[in-house]
A and B are shown apart, each in its own frame.
Chain A
């Protein structure tokens, strides 16, 4: 590759290599991202003997460079000469696995996990396992935390003696002095358990799990919960009660709310892992307690799970359990003191109606929905409204409409524009469920009122909403109900409202089709081209460009073009600009159709 006299092809690579140590981080980063190009040019041997040693020492660099490096090395096997030489990648990744920055370390571990698969069983024991052991017994906790993530990838592929050593190392890390290492071990416990032989799960993992779940550090105990869920999926049903449940029960009643929160958060996974019988005997009371927890964060997490938990209850006893155990708690949560709890519940409570069926919904759930629709917190009401479809399927929306309407009206007029924005977004959905008649009667005026809201984001959302409504109810409906009102605004004294007319036309023209656009909208747009306000005029130009494709060619030629040409000579710079833009945007269209008609 080394040419005799100044090899031109080397130049770009030389630049890349030099920039590996440029002072500008961005340039270093670019070079690192093209590391494969450099390695390819150097060839496998020089990559192994020169590039990798250099990279091993590069750990002083900025995090983003190190992160990129750690990622690159994960797919470098081919560039060092294939699986036979993959162990050459271990030194740089080992040093990256000890840096203090968590994201870099995690990426290095990810790459190590990846390349571990490319090691032959022999190489794994000769090169990879020693690395894991070095990390596991490193002086600094950064290296020991990294080790935790590597046990599970080598365990299945090594001899039984090495397996024993690996188990021993993992045990040691589970009782490490520093909470960081115990946290890392706890978070990998489940994954490690999965690759262990069942006997060792029982003899090794269970004691570790029990110890971590009663660690003095809250942050370790809460991670043990997740591990518990994974372990539970591995054990045969008859062992669960003795080996896992006491610890999990204890976690659900932990003194620290963060641990209980974790239990609540993982409840559906837990439920699946332990099966129907334990669910019925143990989890139902535990879930009740979590729903009644003294910490709002825990109640909110549990409330979020109400629907999934109920869905996954064994079918034969589902209704009874819900009616006698869960529903009473849910009823209390409806009037919880904390709004996050209420809104978490509101986001899932409607889902119960499909599970409980029509009669129960009407009798038990409907009062709750209605209460939540009147809740003082807008988020709760919004969450109910956004999930109406579930109820619609079961009892039809009519049952609710009497209470729904005041709730919607109130949200539509809420002082916070973000609340108004949220309810607008549900309008098309509501319209579809309530039907055109109900909509015309009760909601249409709201939709029109939003068009003249004083917040632009609301006006914009309102225009978009109209388009979706037209898509739902059809062009004829649009022509009769919406279009006249929209066009009426063209004569408003407020130029912002006149502009809203233009925005609506932009949004509606396609949905309304050529006839309505040409007949009703176009004249209004053209008339507005003489508006006093420049902003309106240039929006006319933009609108004409926008609705151009909907119009037929004669209208374009005869009506649009002259107006745009006139606007192109406007005294206002912006109007001129947008008119010219529109001309060049629509003119091809005009000339094209022109050609079509006359050829």
Chain B
């Protein structure tokens, strides 16, 4: 899909906008084909910046991973900072069939996580439902030349012409980027893997499925340790599944996992080998007045992310984004409504399965802002200090190139002002599930169906 990749790069010049409905964010690039019929395999299923922000990886339902690299020249020019170009493309996972269980295993990439850089090469973990793989992405700019028994073009030289031995010599060549599989961590998950997370000790990582969390050492593929197991003896008593899990960014012993019931458990691996007993439980008491058939579904945690500082933790459920102070379990310190107007539409969202969509969320590099996706290609930005929020649209059609994104308002009534859209007009097939924030700069990447959008904040 990326060979026919259509890139829409813009010159970011300032265009006069209309007052406060303008945001600081500008479209920088769109990647991916723009036709209306989208092949299933091209649908993006994971987006992740690496630790320096220099590389951006996307995974798709076809099991492919595409890595984009920030243009070195563009780095120095502040106004077109965020130019990313294809660096490497490779097939990470193939469709498989589990003959024992008569089960098809999709190749869809569920998660991508970069490892902290250890040498000139880059490493990432990618996972589908069952198998995690460690990939090495490296550059090569030299190749050996000189054979004894044949020419460089492959023609054989007669052995009788051999009068002296020749040792090959490395010569410069065009830069080549290679992706090679380094490890395959298989056969440890009975259920579908929803999360992977690398520990701050840089030698272990966790992988979570619906009922269990396993701990791996990056160097060993033949063993993993089960650290959480919530499978009840009798599967009919199952009431809760694990939906997301992450390691603390600084404390090697701490990880959290969120559940389908809306609670998040924090575990301390120092306390015992098996972390079935959590050390903290973050849970908001349910308000009995708003209780409905959908309460449990919409409270299910779709993503959990620690802040870079390690002090806070953000959880995303269907309608809200919550920020918790790790020192306070009883209630979140901040609650942001992502699309509260959908509360009245839950019935139809249940019927079209949208209510089960799993939205990701991410922190800005300095933790002052958070971002998450919504429907109609909208995404939401929340400024924590200023208590400001914005609804922005990932689009390249409206508005002139490079102009600041306008902010949208969704109204329940029928009368519309400018930049307002009615709840009934929202397109629920266009959703932004996957988002990633550049670790240092104000660049965000998000995936609509098959397009990768890169936005950047305009510098004043």
Chain A residue numbers with a CB within 8 Å of B161 are 6
A503 to chain B, nearest CB (A): 34
Further pairs besides A180-B202, A295-B271: 13, Cβ < 8 Å? A2-B165, A7-B163, A11-B162, A15-B149, A17-B166, A21-B144, A41-B165, A42-B167, A100-B121, A101-B182, A140-B120, A183-B203, A254-B270
Q: Is the CB of A258 within 8 A of B201?
A: no
Chain B contacts for A445, CB-based, 8 A: none
Counting CB contacts under 8 A, is A20 at the interface? yes
A10 at the interface (CB under 8 A from B): yes
A169 to chain B, nearest CB (A): 20
Q: Which residues in A have their C-beta under 8 angstroms from that of B170?
A: 53-54, 57
**Interface status of B123 (Cβ within 8 A of chain A):** yes
Closest chain-A Cβ to B114's Cβ sits at a distance in Å of 14
Given A100-B123, A142-B119, also A18-B147 (CB < 8 A) = yes
Asked whether A18 lies within 8 Å of B150 as measured between CB atoms, the reply is yes
B355 contacts A by Cβ under 8 Å: no
Determine the chain A residues whose CB is within 8 A of the CB of B192 once the complex forms.
none
User: Any chain A CB within 8 A of the CB of B160?
Assistant: yes
Given contacts A17-B148, A21-B144, contact A218 B163 (CB under 8 A): no
CB 8 Å contact bits of B104-136 with A (1 = contact, 0 = none): 000000000000111111010000000000001
CA distance A20 to B146 in the complex (A): 11
Q: Could you say which residues of chain A place their CB within 8 Å of the CB of B150? A: 18
**How near does chain B come to A44, taking the closest CB pair, in angstroms?**
14
How many A-B residue pairs have C-beta atoms within 8 angstroms? Tell me.
127
A416 at the B interface (CB under 8 A): no
The 8 closest A-B pairs by CB, nearest first: A14-B148, A6-B160, A256-B270, A50-B167, A2-B164, A140-B119, A57-B170, A142-B119
Q: Mark out the residues of chain B between 304 and 344 whose CB falls within 8 Å of any chain A CB in the assembled complex.
A: none
Residues of B within 8 A of A (CB): 116-121, 123, 136, 138, 140, 142, 144, 147-150, 159-170, 182, 200-203, 219, 250-253, 269-273
**9 sample A-B contacts, Cβ–Cβ < 8 Å, listed by A number:** A6-B161, A7-B163, A17-B148, A20-B144, A46-B165, A46-B167, A53-B170, A101-B182, A179-B252
Contacts of A155-207 to chain B: CB distance below 8 A: 178-180, 183
Task: Return the CB mask of A524-561 against B: 1 if under 8 Å, else 0.
Answer: 00000000000000000000000000000000000000
On whether A100 and B272 interact (CB within 8 A), knowing A57-B170, A217-B252, A219-B252, the answer reads no
The answer to whether the Cβ of A4 comes within 8 Å of any Cβ in the partner chain is yes
CA distance A403 to B136 in the complex (A): 59
Tell me the residues in window 229-254 of chain A with beta carbons closer than 8 Å to chain B beta carbons. 254
Q: Cα distance A69–B443 when bound, in Å?
A: 44
Within 8 A of B (CB), among A1-29: 1-8, 10-11, 13-15, 17-18, 20-21
Residue of B at shortest CB range from A293?
B272
Question: With contacts A15-B149, A54-B144, A257-B272 known, is A10 near B165, CB below 8 A?
Answer: yes
When C-beta atoms are compared, the residue in chain A nearest to B178 turns out to be A60
- Cα distance A248–B165 in the bound complex, in angstroms: 60
Cβ of A363 under 8 Å from chain B: no
Q: Is the CB of B165 within 8 A of A13?
A: yes
> By the criterion CB–CB under 8 Å, are B273 and A296 in contact?
yes
Q: Is A216 within 8 A of B251, CB to CB?
A: yes
* Minimum distance in angstroms from A344 CB to a CB of chain B: 15
Residue of B136, B138, B162, B251 touching A6 (CB-CB under 8 A): B162
Partner of A14, one of B149, B201, B251: B149
Asked if A336 is an interface residue, CB under 8 A from chain B, the answer is no
Residues of A with C-beta under 8 A to B123:
100
* A218 and B252 contact, CB distance less than 8 A: yes
Q: List chain A residues, Cβ under 8 A from B121.
A: 100
Chain A nearest CB from B201 CB (Å) reads: 5
B interface: dominant SS: loop
Q: In the complex, A60→B120 CA distance in Å?
A: 11
Complex: chain A residue closest to B166, CB-CB: A17
Q: How far is the CA of A594 from the CA of B330 in the complex (A)?
A: 96
Interface size class of A (residues with CB under 8 A): 35 or more
Cβ contact within 8 Å between B201 and A218: yes
> How far apart are the CA atoms of A7 and B273 in the complex, in Å?
66
Q: CA–CA, A51 to B120, complex, Å?
A: 24
Is A102 part of the binding interface, using a Cβ–Cβ cutoff of 8 Å?
yes
B138: chain A residues within 8 A (beta carbon):
60
Residues of chain B lying within 8 A (CB to CB) of residue A209: none
Q: Which of chain A's residues have a CB closer than 8 A to the CB of B269?
A: 218, 256
B218 (CB) vs chain A CBs: closest residue: A102
- For the complex, give the distance between the alpha carbons of A50 and B167 in Å: 6
Q: Does A578 contact B (CB under 8 A)?
A: no
Do A60 and B140 touch across chains, with their CB atoms under 8 A apart? yes
Whether a CB of chain B sits under 8 angstroms from the CB of A469 is no
- The CB with the most chain B CB atoms within 10 A, among A99, A100, A141, A218, is that of A100
Q: A255-B270, A258-B270 are in contact. Are A17 and B252 (CB under 8 A)?
A: no
- Chain A residues near B165: list those with CB within 8 A: 2, 10, 13-14, 17, 41-42, 46
CA distance A10 to B164 in the complex (A): 7
Q: Which of A14, A141, A256 contacts B253 (CB 8 A)?
A: A256
Q: Are A5 and B167 in contact (CB under 8 A)?
A: no
Contact of A7 with B162 at beta-carbon distance under 8 Å, contacts A18-B150, A179-B200, A216-B252 already known: yes
Cα A278 to Cα B162 with chains together (Å): 73
Is B144 a contact partner of A218 (Cβ separation < 8 A)? no
B118 touching A141, Cβ below 8 Å = yes
A219 nearest CB neighbor, chain B only: B201
| A118: Cβ under 8 A from any B Cβ | no
Pairwise interchain contact A98-B119, C-beta atoms closer than 8 A = yes
Task: A458 to B428: give the CA distance in the assembly, Å.
Answer: 64
**A18–B273 CB distance below 8 A:** no
Q: How far is the CB of A434 from chain B (nearest CB, A)?
A: 40
Of A7, A18, A57, A141, the residue contacting B149 (CB under 8 A) is A18
**Given A14-B162, A100-B123, A217-B200, also A54-B252 (CB < 8 A):** no
- Chain B residue at smallest Cβ distance from A256: B270
Check: A389 CB closer than 8 A to any chain B CB.
no
Q: In A110-153, which residues have CB < 8 Å from any B CB?
A: 140-143
B251 to chain A, nearest CB (A): 7
A259 to B310, CA, bound (A): 23
Task: Tell whether, in the assembled complex, residue A5 and residue B163 are in contact, meaning their CB atoms are under 8 Å apart.
Answer: yes
Say yes or no for A297: interface residue by CB 8 A criterion: yes
B273 A257 Cβ-Cβ under 8 A: yes
CA distance A3 to B165 in the complex (A): 10
CA distance A218 to B268 in the complex (A): 12
Q: Which residues of A contact B219 (CB under 8 A)?
A: 102
Interface assignment of A415: CB less than 8 Å from any CB of chain B: no
B259 to chain A, nearest CB (A): 25
Contacts of A255 in B (CB 8 A): 270-271
Q: How far is the CA of A7 from the CA of B159 in the complex (A)?
A: 8
User: B253: which A residues are within 8 A, CB to CB?
Assistant: 218, 256
Chain A stretch 251-284: residues in CB contact (< 8 A) with chain B: 254-258
Q: Is the CB of A3 within 8 A of B166?
A: no
B118 partner residues in chain A, CB cutoff 8 A: 100, 140-142, 180
A54 touching B162 by the CB < 8 A rule? no
CB distance from A157 to the nearest CB of B (A): 30
A101 to chain B: which residues have CB within 8 Å? 182
With A and B bound together, what is the CA distance between A101 and B150 in angstroms? 33
Complexed CA–CA distance, A98 and B120 (Å): 9
B116 to chain A: which residues have CB within 8 Å? 178
How far apart sit A6 and B200, CA to CA, in the bound complex (Å)? 60
Per-position 1/0 for A207-233, Cβ under 8 A of B: 000000000111100000000000000
A11: nearest chain-B partner, CB-CB:
B159
Task: Tell me how far the C-beta of A96 lies from the nearest C-beta in chain B, rounded to whole angstroms.
Answer: 12
